[in-house]
Each structure stands twice: as structure tokens, then as C-alpha cells.
Structure 1
């Protein structure tokens, strides 16, 4: 498995990511089940008008605890598995175009850009909307909802994203994506603003009424064993620098998320009970 952690979600950056991958995902190793984690950092903050996201990859690579997790840093990949099904966790649909966006800000256009819906982008589409499901969305433009309806893209808003619902959600998703039983890997795209802002403040695009960290930990347990990769975006510790202990709490939360992901990947052939009994439990309590 390749894990791309903490990059700012931008169309230009995502295109760069697809260009800079080495042949890992197309190699025999990349297509086989993986029990290893490669971390790729993308220091970028364009599009959303706030400084800070570009600092997160460097912060991650400087953490002593990352060295203890047996991950490979800075490994590049050339192309994501073309048939991967995308589980997009986000407060936003991210499918605006210059015509539909009130602000014309590219920050809200990565899905549209990857799917080839943004004009004058000289790049072959690399995302099929039929391979996409949303979780946690609650802030969007009318045109984005029309796009979801037009392409019959399933989505779970934050009100139904509860940990105890995940087994049923998994069955629904598998039935939608793999009706003939022929399975392909998942790719998890996790924007931290999908989490409720009361649980994580260090992001430039916070939204209330979001999903819980407990849900996300269970989500990782449910889908990571069948995933070929993951990205983790929109972490911006500058946004919580003046909020007493909030920045330190959020840094701990990022650590717990990364450790959870790595532990699941390293032990994904073990029983779920062994994963649940690992050192760190849901959220920030352990």
C-alpha cells in the first residue's frame, strides 16, 4: 500500500502527484497486496488563500515517532491504479468548475479537474465519476448537487456517518461498485475538514456538523485492508496556533491517525480483534 499523507488538495497539485509517481502502482509489487507504507509529502498551499498547509509534510517528516513506524519516506509513484474505487471523505464536494463556482477558486475544483470537466486543462481525465463515493459532505453549490445526481454518485452526508453503520455501508458500497463480484482496490481520499471542527481545528476550511474521529478510525479499519493507497489533506496547524492547547491536541490527533493507518496496513492480514486491541484507540483517548 502507498500512503500519501498531508498534501493540500489542489487540482494542480493532484496533477503533479499523478505525474511524479514512479512505476510502483503499475509494477507487480504495486498491484499485489501490500503490507508496507510509503509516505509522500507535497508542500503546497495555493488556491485557498491561507498559509500553513505547505508546512505539514515537513512537520510530519520531522517527528521522531514516524521513524518508529517502519515507513518509507519520499517514495514517488507514477500512476494510481486506474480501476481503483475512490472513497472521498470531505466536507465539500470539490466538483466546482469556473462556471459554477461563485469565487472561481480552484481550491473547490479538484474532482471536476481530475474528471476532465474544467476547460482549458491540458491533461487527460484520470478520475471516473462512476468510481467515486462521498462521505461527510455538507457544504456545496447547487451545480455540484446536480453533477452528483446526473452521474448517480452515491454519497453519505455526515448525519448518517456513524461507526455502527459502517458494516451496512460497506455492504452497500461493495454492492454498488462490484455487482458481479469482480473486486478492485479502494483509494481513500481523506480531507481533515470532513471531521467536525469541534474535534479538529487545524484546517483552513473548517465546517461544523461533521463526522467524528471515532467514525474515521472505524472507517480505516473497514476499508484500508482493501485499499491500494490513501491521501490525507488540509492539515494546517497555523489555524490553531492561538487557541490555547488546541494545536498540540490536533498534532496528537494527526499522530494517532497516522499510527492507526500504519498499524492497520502492517497488520491487515490479522484478525480485526487484534487491530482493535492495538495501543491507540479511537479519537484522542487511549
Structure 2
């Protein structure tokens, strides 16, 4: 397996895009290579592949999301919640290999953010992670947010939250709303309790860092990472459960290890075989 360090996880080939005054880290070279292998397998088997979109009830299609950017990972999932959960259940029950994922995350600096962000202006013990403008009302439960605020939590808006929505939040909750451009990863590392939906990669970081993670999601966990949260949030040890899932590539989470091609082939062999059973 390649050595994971802060020095070599970021490749000089990282594509950085300016979005709304922020710099999006883009895919790392490692992530681009994983996607290339996934696209090749999809093309060979005529499988539709989506990117970073949220839709359901398409059990014969796949969607991928960049995840854990500094660790160079990709999450490939079935575009069907029930079928996707079966893969995660198999990974949780398996014992494929052992990867020190939580230790990797512990060693990261503030660069766990998908966007190059500002330093934080204050440390908060409880932080609410909101998704972007297209999802933050649809995927959140206002009652759960209010309950979190009653415990002293602060709202961390998504970095790309529409300014109109940010103004609405500030008007309703005042200084309990943090600046969207502050580092969400730094807030997660400093917090004791993190509130999240199924849209938040930072919520996964929180689990791996051993934080107490609570839901503010509406109607269970929706969003691209929803199946992962649904599988582990109520486990006796959510951090251990998520680490075990991430350690088995049948889950669809691929890291740039020496067994990468074998890992991807293993996932696709299962997907194609079970696809035939569904048909």
C-alpha cells in the first residue's frame, strides 16, 4: 500500500477551481486514477455512471463521489438505497483487510476541507453542518436543528451557501451562525458533538475522529453519503463500524492502495453478478 502522509497525499496535479471566491481542491491525481478505472469497467459493461448526484431507485446504475480528498478516495455506490445498503452490510460483516483510516484522518491538518477555507474565528463545542443551498431545507429537520441550538450548538453553513440563504439564517439565528468560508474541518476537529445530514463528508470525518455525531436529517439520511450514515450511526461503536466498512472495497470506497485494480474488479464482479439476479 502506498504510504499516506500529508506530504504526498496531495499531488502537484491537483486541479483547483475557483468557485464563489473559494478554491475547490478538485480531484487529486490519485482520485482521477480511481475514476479512470471505474469508468473503464462501466464502459466495458455498459453501466451508466453518474458523478456527485443524488437520486434513487436506479438499481442498475452507479454514482461516484470524491471523498476524503487528502486520502485520495472515491465512493462508488449503487443508485438505489436498499441495494447500496446491502454492500455496506457485507463490508461491515467482512474482514477483508485492516487499514489505519482513523489514524490517517487524525494526522490531517485543516486541509480536510473540500474547499480551501479561512481559519476559524472561534472554537465551538457543538457544530451543526448544513448542506448547500439546493439541499439544506429539503434534507434537514428544523425541529432537530432548534433542539441542537438549545444545547449551545453553532450553525456552520456550507461554503457555497447562497448569500440570500445565509442572510436568512443570520436574521433568524444571529451570531449562532458561523461564517460559511471558515474551515468546517477545523470546526469538526475542535468540536465534541457534530450534527449532520447524509450530505456531509465532514460528518464522516467526525465519525472517524470519534466525535459524538447526531442527526439533523429529515426522513432518515438522504444525500450521497446517506447509506453510510444509516449503516453506522446507531452502531455500538460508530467509528469502528465506519472504519470496518471503509476497509473493505466491497463497500465501494476505494483508496489508492497497491490492490486498487483488484479492489475495483471485486466490486464490479459482485455488482454485475447481482445485477443479473435482479434482471
| TM-score (normalizing by structure 2) | 0.33
Greater helix fraction, Structure 1 or Structure 2: 2
